[in-house]
Amino acid sequence: MKRAPLEIADVIMITPHLIADSRGYFSEVFKAAWFNEHIADAVFLQDNQSLSAQAGTIRGLHFQMEPFAQGKLVRAIAGRLFDVAVDLRGGSPTYGKWVGVELSADNGKQLWIPPGFAHGFATLEPNSIIHYKVTAPYSAAHDRGIRWNDPAIGVEWPVSSEAALLSDKDRQQPFLGQSPYYFHYRSLKQEA
């Protein structure tokens, strides 16, 4: 496996090694010992998968409050995604900044997004399937979101506002400035 830090230092792109032969390939897509040594000391408690039928579907930007804040290890197992992480850690030099990468079933790349970030993605092909491991279980009561196209964050989505397909919930998420409790990692912890 190879690791490559992105513009936000703790968000890491991972490229698993692929061993090809006449049948196809074999790849270790997750190995706890390697992950803990090279990426983060994390324990994954839940695996999630979702299918988005249409290209231009946007899910996000989502996170969970403490004590259910989630680190996420994200990959595409069908189709192509533009995957985005937004730094919400109070005191971080990259607070409010975003990073985006293309994850596809073909490129096999994975994105590690630590706790303290919001996550979202846009599908670039029909029937794209995302799979992600998370470090805390789902808790509806701790589930939060920020508006996908909040100008204060300025994610450059590869989908126009007119073409974007969103859930009702995501269409109405608050903007970054609206709810101060969101954005201090420390204050998220204090709220728990």
Ligand X SMILES: Cc1cn([C@H]2C[C@H](O)[C@@H](COP(=O)(O)OP(=O)(O)O[C@H]3O[C@@H](C)C(=O)[C@@H](O)[C@H]3O)O2)c(=O)[nH]c1=O
Binding-site ranges for ligand X (CB under 6 A): 48, 50, 59-60, 62, 119-121, 138, 167, 169
* Residue 39 or 61 having the CB closest to ligand X: 61
Query: In whole angstroms, how far apart are CA 110 and each of 24, 39, 55, 83?
Result: 20, 12, 20, 10
Q: Are strands 143-145 and 19-21 parallel, antiparallel or unpaired?
A: unpaired
DSSP string, 134-156: ESS---GGGEEE--TT-TTT---
Residue 132 annotated to the active site: yes
Q: Are 113 and 63 in contact (CB under 8 A)?
A: no
In this complex, which beta carbon is closest to ligand X, that of residue 60 or of residue 79? 60
Residues 6+ apart with CB under 8 A from 151: none
Active site residue 182: no
Q: In angstroms, what is the minimal distance from the CB of 186 to ligand X?
A: 21
Q: How many CB atoms lie within 10 A of CB 155?
A: 21
Catalytic residue among 132, 142, 182, 184: 132
List 17, 25, 38, 62, catalytic entry: 62
Nearer to ligand X, 26 or 138 (CB): 138
Give least dist CB 37 to ligand X, A: 25
Beta bridge partners of 50: 130
CB of 4 to ligand X, least distance (A): 21
The least CB distance from residue 129 to ligand X, in Å, is 12
Q: Give the nearer residue to ligand X in terms of CB position, either 17 or 60.
A: 60
Catalytic residues: 62, 132
